[in-house]
Amino acid sequence: MNISQTVRRIDALVASGKPTFESIFPSLYLDVKSKGTASWIIRYQLYGKRRQYKIGAYGKGHEELLDLEGAMKLAIDCRQKLNDGIDPQLDVERSKQPKLTTFDDCAKKYIDKKHKKIKTAYIYERIYENEIKSYLGNIRIDRIHSYDIDSVIQRVLDSGRPAVANQVLLFIKRVYRLATKYGAVTVNIAQEFSQVDDAGGADTKRQRFLEEQEIESAFAVFRQHPVKIPRSTYIALSLLLLLGFRKMELLSAKWEQIDLKRQTFKLYANSTKTDAELVIPIPDLALPLLKDLRMLSGGNDYLFPKRKASKHPYISPDTINDAVACLFGVSYGNRKTGHNYMADVGVQHFTPHDLRRTFRTLLSKLGVRRDVAEKCMNHSLKGVEKTYDCYGFFPERIDALNRLGEILMPLIQYTPMSDIDL
């Protein structure tokens, strides 16, 4: 049949609606499913295996539809690829992959990969959103110059955050490694940068913890700034000190994890860094904090519901960090720096995670046994001990956390909502 006859034949098959799978051209088939509906199918054999895939819907006069001529061109292209040993279906699938053009494209792909592998991928996301995105995000990654990278790192160094500068450099280097792997760039210009020469210097183990006088002074500053530190944030900072949680173990927790009658707070395995489930005893003096928090959450499933549009149903991982940093006069991203209120009361810079280190230090100061203190931290045991020692030290932890609460609550000076004159 010539082209005109073939077109008429196709129109008749589609109009009839009779289910048909008919060869139209070498490797090209028409698949009629119902009246007025048909698809073009490429069928071929490669390396002894028969394969097929849909190249489009039959039709005319629309860019998303394929007429006979368009389908034949794709079939010819398919045959040419087969002659070169290329799987045409695989080639089509590759073309559908998101294009990695800008730094933002590559950064998002890197962060997505991290989310699939680790629970703390939000840390990488925070570094990118706060420190890098507004400067490099919209630039084609193959057009970024070494000076652009240096400028981003220098901005962080100028703000007095060498450790963050190291994180920024590490993120950029990993994004460039991914971009090189996927062919978005041919040269990894970030590879020549080093922490020692270009960022914050060699990494050192952070050892910042708060003395008791600093805790009292810091929480006094928190109370003086209720706009920056609203009551729910004040409670979160208090609980981080009293219970020793990792930040997101607390901020992403649901009320179903808490039993106020039995005074327990259950950490699920999938919400902890160590994949270890643990029941945390709630000290007596911490109960007013949680009772107020339940009222503040307004019946939400989460202890700390999101406060604005977010992909998470709970508070953003950055919220508490930003609030504390603001009182030190530190501002992330493009925001302006403010007054260092903490310096006025003699408190050196700390982050919410330093409260966990303070918790552990105070347990040692109280004379709590090492094995009990480590269980309070939900640190994983090592070697054979991890396999055979399944004791949870629950009674010992109740005693330790109650003793700690007796030290901390006078310093935190929390006033329950029921005690406030309205």
pLDDT along the chain (422 residues), means of 10: 82 87 89 88 83 84 82 86 77 69 94 86 88 93 94 89 90 94 90 90 78 95 94 95 91 92 86 72 94 92 86 86 90 74 93 93 93 86 48 86 95 85 46
3-state secondary structure 372-388: HHHHHCCCCCCHHHHHH
Give the pLDDT score at 8: 86
If one looks up domain 103-198 in CATH, what number appears? 1.10.150.130
Separation of alpha carbons 316 and 308, rounded Å? 9
Angle at 138 between CA 134 and CA 139, to 5 degrees: 115
- Residue 33 backbone dihedrals phi, psi, to 5 degrees: -100, -40
Alpha carbon 261 to chain centroid, angstroms: 34
Q: Report which of 239, 218, 178 is spatially closest to residue 324, judged by C-alpha positions.
A: 218
> Radius of gyration (Cα) for the chain, nearest Å?
30
- Amino acid identity, position 136: L
CB 175 within 8 A of CB 110: yes
CATH topology of domain 3-95: Double Stranded RNA Binding Domain (3.30.160)
Phi-psi region of 201 (alpha: psi -120 to 50; beta: other; left: phi over 0): left
**Domain boundaries 212-419, CATH class:** mainly alpha
Give the pLDDT score at 204: 66
Give the pLDDT score at 296: 93
For the entire predicted model, the pTM comes to 0.64
CB 200 within 8 A of CB 157: yes
Burial 247-279 (b: 16+ CB within 10 A, else e): bbbbbbbebebbeeeebebebeeebbeeeeebe
Give the pLDDT score at 422: 43
Domain ranges of the chain: 3-95, 103-198, 212-419
Separation of alpha carbons 83 and 68, rounded Å? 23
| Sequence-separated (6 or more) residues with CB below 8 Å from residue 222 | 229, 233, 234, 237, 327
Give the pLDDT score at 389: 45
